[in-house]
Structure 1
C-alpha cells in the first residue's frame, strides 16, 4: 500500500486558460498518483523512480476559472492527503478570472518572495521548548497566519530565490542521519555527498507541517543559488579547478543537479513544457530513471550550454523571468560572464518580446544586480585584478584579487563587469519607450538583508517618453542569520564614506565609473523576512514583513508598505555616473 512521503506541492497554475495546474508528490513506492478537486477537476500520473525514490508531477485539468477549490491526493485510489485529523485548512487550487467583466478589470497579482532558508539551524534545530537561535522562520510564520485566517489575502505565487536547502551547512538532525550511513571524518564530512543525502535535506525542509501546508496551497517558483550545491558555487575558474581536484566534488555536483531537477525544476515548467521535455519522457519510459537523470545532470555540470535552468512565467499582465545566475556562468578570466551567450540571448529575447504586452516585468535572479556601492566597487576591483589590470594575470595583484574574491564572496553581477553592463543596458531598453511597462523590478536575495535600490534621476526623460520605474528589490533571509559585524559592514557599504572607499578601489583597479548611478531608497532591514509585490493594472505596491517572537507567539510585523507607482518614475536614461 503506497504512502505519501513528501508533498503535495502546488507548483504551476495556468493564468491564460486558468484551467490547469500541476501538483508534485513523492511516494514511498511505485504507484499511480491522482489529484481530485471538489469542483470535479482531476489529473493522474504514474510515478517515476530516481535512486529508489518515487515521484509524480500531476497535471490537473478542468479547473474552473476564477475559483478556489479544495483537492485531495490519492495513491492507487487511496486518499493520502489531507491526512486524518489534519489541523490545517483544506489544500486548495485558486485560478484567476479570465472572462466577462472580470477580464476587463485589472487583475491583481500578489508576488511574495525571499531567499535563504535553513529548515533548521545547523547549530541546533527546532527543539521543543528551545528558542530558535536565528529567530522565527518567516515562511513558517506566514503559513501559520494564513492557516489561522482563511479570509486573509494570500500570495498568488511564492518566489523562492535560492538556497532552498543547504548542502554545505547541515543541521544536527541531518548530521545524525549522515553519520548513520558513512564516516563523517572522510570528505565531504558533514556536508551532503550524494542524491540520497539530498533527499534528507528536502525531507527536513518540506516536511515541516506549516511549510508543507503552505506549499500545498500557494503556487511556487524556484531557482537555485550556491548553497543548494555549495557556498560560492562557480565563483571563478580558480575556484572550480580547486574543487574539481577533490575526490567528492563530481558526485556532489551531479547529485545536486539531479535533485534540483526532481524537487524544484520540474515544477517550474508548464504542462506544455513538461510534455515537450525529453528527460521527463525518458524517466516515464523506464522502470528506473536514475541513469537518465544522472547522465543529464553530469552533462549539465560539464557544459552549462547543454541545458537551460532559466524560465518564464506569465501572470496576466505580469511577466516573470527567472534567471540562472549560478550554473550558466563563463569563468575564464578573459571571457568572464554571469550568463553564457545562449543564456544571455534567451534573457534578452524574453525581456524584449511582445512590447506592450505586460504592465510589469519581473527579473528574478538570486544575486542582486544593484549592490551597496562599496560592495559593487570591491567586486569590480577584484575582477580587474584577477584579469591582470595590475601586474598581469599571473602577478601578485591577480593572486590577491582571487584570494579576496573567494574569501569575501565577491561574485555577484558586479564581479562580472561585462554582464553587469549588458543587464543594465537590457533593463534600460525595456524601461524606455512608448510601450514600456510601468515597472521593471529585479528580485533578488542572497545577501542576508533587505533593501530597495533605484537608478538615480538627474533630468526629465527626453521628449516626455514614458519610462518604467526601475527597482532592485532584495529580500533575504527567510530563515537564517547574519553576524553583527556584517550588519555594520553593509550599513557602511551604503554610506558616503563607503562610496568614497569604493571609488578609491575603482581607481586602483582602473575600472572606471559604473554605467549608471543608483541610490538606496529604503532599508537596510535585518531579520527573517518576506517581501510582497501587489500589482494591479499599472499600479504597484510593495510591503515587507518580518517574523518576530512575542509573548503571544510568533507574528509577522509590517516593516514597510508603500506604493511604487504613486509618483512619476525617474528617468533611467538620464541617470548619471556615480
Structure 2
C-alpha cells in the first residue's frame, strides 16, 4: 500500500545548521526532507504497535535564513499538500554568532482538541489564533514554542473518541468507558488534536518542545503514595501507564532531543533499528513508572531536558512522573535529577528560563492551603492523614507548595543565582569559579486555567528579577462559578486566613513572598517571553469571540 502522511511534519529542534522533523505515516516508508539551498535529510520509519514514525535530522541549513522545505514518502511528495491555502513551511535558523540576537519563547498549556471543544462550546483556540496571525505576520514568529502539559486529554475524551472506546470495550479491551487505556487509543488523541489544520501548519514551521502534565495520563497523576496504591489496584492501570508513557515518548519526548542527543540515546537507537519496536516500547512504558523511593533506588528515566538559544538557557522540568512520594521525603525531582538541574542552572548565560508545567508561585491563599494540606496528610494521627488525603485529591492540592521541601529549595536556588557569587562544588562554573547574576530568571507554567504574572521577593533587593509567568489554558475553560473563588485566592485577606491555617499545623512561613503584577485572566491565551540584551518582556494574549488575539498583559523586567 502507498504510505500516507497521518500527522506532521512537526518541526521540533533547530540547532545550528541542523533540525529535527517528526511525523507519522500510514505505512512503512523512506522519508525525505528537502529544504531550499540543498539542505535535507532521509530516514526510514520505525514501527510500534502497528504505527509508523520517523524523526528526520535535516543537515546543511544556511545560518540566519528561513528555508522552505518539502516532505516525500518513497519519493512521492506529500508536504505541502496539493492546493494548500497555507504559506510554505520553513525552517528558520539563527546566525552563527547569535549571542546578540533576541530570543522569543511562546508558551502555554491545557489544549483540548477541536472536536472535544465543539462538544463543550469552548471559547476560540489560542493556538489557532496564533497560527493565523503568523500566517500574515512573520515578525511574530517565535524561536520556540514551549508546550507545558495537557497536550492531549486521556481522561476527558471527545464524542468521536468515546464512540471508538465503546467499540473497543465491547470487543474485550478493559478500561473506563470514556477514558483511553491502550496505545492504540492514545494514538487517536494525537490524531484528533494535531491534525487541526491551523495547528498542523503552525507545528510544521515553528520549532516546539513539550512536557507532560497529568491529563496525558490521568487527572491527579502521582498526587501521593496512597493515590498510586489505589490506582495500582485498578485492573487496567498497568496497561494505561505503560501505553501512556510509551506514546508520550514517541509523540512528544523524542522531539525534545537534539540531533546529538538522539545519536547518543540508546533507546532511540534500539527503537530505530528494530523491525518492530512494540515490545521495546511496552517494556519501556512499564519500567519507567517506578519513581525513586526508599525501596527503589534505581535512577529513573529522565524526562527533564535543557537547551540553549543564544544567551538564554531553557530547562524544562518533569513535575509528574519522577516525583518522590514517600511521606516525609516528598520531592518534585529525585536527587540525581535535582543535581542535574543544579548543574544546568549554573553556567554562562544571560537569562534562565524554567519550564514547569505546575506553577512555582501559586495564588497565595492556595499556596498556604497546599502547604497546610501536606502537613495534615502526613500526620501520624490516622484520621487527620485520611482527611488530608481526601482534601488533596478533591481539590488538586499537588503543586510545588504541596512539596514544601522542593518549593523552598527552588526558591533558595533562585536567591543564590540572583545574588551571584561562588558556584557550589561539583557544578558548572564561570570564570574564576564564580558566576554573575543572570539578567532574569523566569518560570513558565500552565495547569491552573488562568494566566498571571508575579514577581518573587526575597526580603532584600536582588539584581536579578525572578518571575512566575503562568499561561493557561490554550483551549479549555474554568467553570464560571469557580472564577470568583480563584480571584479571591489572590486576596491578601484570604491569604492571611489560609496562612493562619498553615501556621496552626506548624508550617513555617515561606522565605519568599510574591507580588502579582498582571492577571488573573481566565480566557484562552498564549504567552510570549521576549529576551533581548539584559531585558525581558512577558506578554499574555487572549482570544476574542471572533478568534483574534488581543493583549491581556505586558510586563517588562
Does the pair score TM above 0.5?
yes
| Worse overlay, 240-249 or 535-544 | 535-544
SS in 1 for 2:340: helix
Partner of 1:569: none
Cα distance in 1, alignment partners of residues 29 and 356 from structure 2: 36
Partner of 1:208: 196
SS in 2 for 1:344: helix
1:557 to 546, 550, 553: 550
Report if aligned partners of 2:57, 2:259 keep a CA contact under 8 Å in 1.
yes
> Any residues of structure 2 matched to 1:224-303 within 5 Å, and which?
224-303=212-291
Partner of 1:196: 184
1:71-121: CA deviation from partner (whole Å, max 9, x where unpaired): 00011111111110011000000000124xxx57x2111100000000136
1:502 is the counterpart of 2:493 = no
Task: Give how far 1:274 is off.
Answer: 0.3
Cα distance in 2, alignment partners of residues 270 and 496 from structure 1: 45
> Any residues of structure 2 matched to 1:436-475 within 5 Å, and which?
436-456=437-457, 458-460=459-461, 467-475=463-471
1:25-46: CA deviation from partner (whole Å, max 9, x where unpaired): 1111111111000121000111
1:369 to 360, 368, 373: 360
1:479-531: CA deviation from partner (whole Å, max 9, x where unpaired): 00101232111111110221111122112211021121112111111100011
Partner of 2:390: 403
Partner of 1:180: 167
1:55-75: CA deviation from partner (whole Å, max 9, x where unpaired): 000000000000000000011
1:255-297: CA deviation from partner (whole Å, max 9, x where unpaired): 0000000000010001110001111111122210111111112
1:387 to 353, 358, 378: 378
How many residue pairs get aligned? The number is 535
Report if aligned partners of 2:169, 2:177 keep a CA contact under 8 Å in 1.
no
Partner of 1:219: 207
Report if aligned partners of 1:19, 1:65 keep a CA contact under 8 Å in 2.
yes
> Any residues of structure 2 matched to 1:298-377 within 5 Å, and which?
298-303=286-291, 305-352=299-346, 354=347, 357-377=348-368
Partner of 1:113: 107
1:545 to 532, 541, 549: 541
SS in 1 for 2:38: coil
Report if aligned partners of 2:291, 2:324 keep a CA contact under 8 Å in 1.
no
Report if aligned partners of 1:279, 1:293 keep a CA contact under 8 Å in 2.
no
SS in 2 for 1:180: helix
1:339-366: CA deviation from partner (whole Å, max 9, x where unpaired): 11111111111112x2xx2111000010
> Any residues of structure 2 matched to 1:513-524 within 5 Å, and which?
513-524=509-520
Partner of 2:413: 426
1:426-461: CA deviation from partner (whole Å, max 9, x where unpaired): 111221126111100011000000111112365445
SS in 1 for 2:288: helix
Question: Root-mean-square deviation (CA), in Å?
Answer: 1.6
SS in 2 for 1:560: strand
> Any residues of structure 2 matched to 1:473-484 within 5 Å, and which?
473-484=469-480
Partner of 2:123: 135
Partner of 1:30: 28
SS in 1 for 2:262: helix
| Worse overlay, 229-238 or 429-438 | 429-438
TM-aligned CA distance change 1:284 to 1:457, over 3 Å? closer
Report if aligned partners of 1:368, 1:445 keep a CA contact under 8 Å in 2.
yes
Cα distance in 1, alignment partners of residues 459 and 263 from structure 2: 49
Cα distance in 2, alignment partners of residues 177 and 93 from structure 1: 36
Task: Give how far 1:140 is off.
Answer: 0.7
SS in 2 for 1:182: helix
Cα distance in 1, alignment partners of residues 267 and 175 from structure 2: 31
| Worse overlay, 183-192 or 340-349 | 183-192
SS in 2 for 1:302: coil
Partner of 1:570: none
1:55 to 53, 56, 77: 53
Cα distance in 2, alignment partners of residues 533 and 190 from structure 1: 37
Report if aligned partners of 1:545, 1:560 keep a CA contact under 8 Å in 2.
yes
Report if aligned partners of 1:183, 1:189 keep a CA contact under 8 Å in 2.
no
TM-aligned CA distance change 1:25 to 1:186, over 3 Å? closer
Partner of 2:10: 9
Cα distance in 2, alignment partners of residues 489 and 63 from structure 1: 51
SS in 2 for 1:383: helix
| Worse overlay, 182-191 or 211-220 | 182-191
Report if aligned partners of 1:5, 1:26 keep a CA contact under 8 Å in 2.
yes
Report if aligned partners of 1:320, 1:361 keep a CA contact under 8 Å in 2.
yes
Task: Give how far 1:302 is off.
Answer: 2.6
